[in-house]
Amino acid sequence: MTILKSRREIEMMKDAGKISAQALGLVGEAVRVGITTGELDAIAKRFIEKSGAVPSFLGYGGYPATICASVNEQVVHGIPGSRVLMSGDIVSIDLGAIYKGYHGDNAKTYAVGQISKDAQRLIDVTEQAFYAGMDAFETGSRLQSISAAVQETAENAGFSVVRELVGHGIGQQLHEEPNVPNFVTGNKGPRLRVGMVLAIEPMINMGGKETYTLSDGWTVCTSDKSMSSHFEHTVALTENGPEILTKG
Ligand code: MF3
Ligand code: CO
C-alpha cells in the first residue's frame, strides 16, 4: 500500500531531503581528477553525521558504504573504495540520509575533467528525463505517465532505459510502495494523489538496456560496457503540484 504523507510529514521530509541534497552537493564539488571514490564517501559520511542524520544506505541489505559511486559503464550501486577518478570518467553519486525518522534520497552524475560530447549528452538527457517524469507527477494521472515520460525522453535521444532497477515510494522507509519504473509496463499503476512521495530516478544507458551485476554482489553494469547515467530526487505531490524535497 502506498503511504500518503501529511503536510507536516512532508515538511519533515524536507529536512532529510535538504541534508541529502547538501551532502550530494558537497560530494559533487569534490569530484575531480585524482580523487578516490572512497574519499568521496568519507566526505558524505562526515557531513551527514555532523548534520545529526544517519546515512540511509550504510548497512541497508548489508551495503557497506554511505554513497554509491558508479563509474562509466557502472549503472548504480558501485561500492566506493580505492578507485581513482580519471579525466573523461563520469561518476554517478547516489546517497540518502535519515533525519527525524524520514528518508531523503538523491543522485546525480558528474563529469570528471574533460568528458566526451556524447557523455555530456547522456548526462543532460538523464536530467531531462527526470524532469519530464516529475512534470507527469500530477493529481489524477496514473503512475505509468511518469514512466512513459521518462522512457520517451531517453529513447527519443537514442538512449535506453534500465529495466532491472526502478524508482520507489519513500518516507519512513527508504523503499516503500509503489515501484516507479522508468519504462512502460502492462500495469497502469496507481492513481497519483496529493501526499504521495516518490524517488523518481531514471537510469539511462548510452547503448543497450541490458545489465549484469559484478561478483561483489552490488555493482550493476551495462552488458555492452556503454556509459550509464543516473539522476534522482525525492519528490512530493502537493496541492500545488510536484515539489522536490531534496533541495540544498
Ligand atoms: N538510491 C538507491 C535506491 O533508490 C539506494 C541504493 S541501495 C543501497 O534504491 F543498498 F545501496 F542502499
Ligand atoms: Co532511490
**Is 95 near ligand 1, meaning CB less than 6 Å away?**
no
pLDDT of residue 70: 99
**Is 62 near ligand 1, meaning CB less than 6 Å away?**
no
Domains and CATH numbers, the chain: 7-244 (3.90.230.10)
**Is 176 near ligand 1, meaning CB less than 6 Å away?**
no
For residue 101, which amino acid is it? G
Distance 89 CA to ligand 2 centre (A): 22
Q: How far is CA 160 from the centre of its chain?
A: 17
DSSP β-ladder status, 167-169 and 197-200: antiparallel
Closest CA to 245 of 104, 126, 112: 104
pLDDT of residue 36: 99
pLDDT of residue 158: 98
Strand order across the beta sheet in which 167-169 lies: 176-180, 167-169, 197-200, 233-238, 241-244
For residue 167, which amino acid is it? G
Distance 109 CA to ligand 2 centre (A): 14
> Per the confidence metrics, is the pTM higher than 0.95?
yes
Q: Please check whether residue 36 is in contact with residue 112, taking contact to mean a CB–CB distance below 8 angstroms.
A: no
Distance 167 CA to ligand 1 centre (A): 10
**Is 105 near ligand 1, meaning CB less than 6 Å away?**
yes
**Is 61 near ligand 1, meaning CB less than 6 Å away?**
yes
Question: Going by C-beta distance under 8 Å and a sequence separation of 6 or more, which residues neighbour residue 196?
Answer: 2, 4, 5, 137, 169, 236, 237
**Which atom of ligand 1 approaches the CA of 56 most closely?**
12
**Is 212 near ligand 1, meaning CB less than 6 Å away?**
no
Cell 560530494 belongs to 27
Instruction: In whole angstroms, give the CA distance from residue 120 to residue 130.
Output: 16
Residue nearest to atom 5 of ligand 1 (CA): 57
pLDDT of residue 100: 98
Taking a 5 Å cut-off on Cβ, the residues next to ion ligand 2 are 105, 199, 201
Per run of 10 residues, the mean pLDDT along the chain (length 248 residues) is: 96 98 98 99 99 98 98 99 99 98 99 98 99 98 98 98 98 98 97 98 98 98 99 98 98
pLDDT of residue 92: 99
Instruction: In whole angstroms, give the CA distance from residue 111 to residue 191.
Output: 37
Q: Which three cell numbers stand for residue 239?
A: 496541492
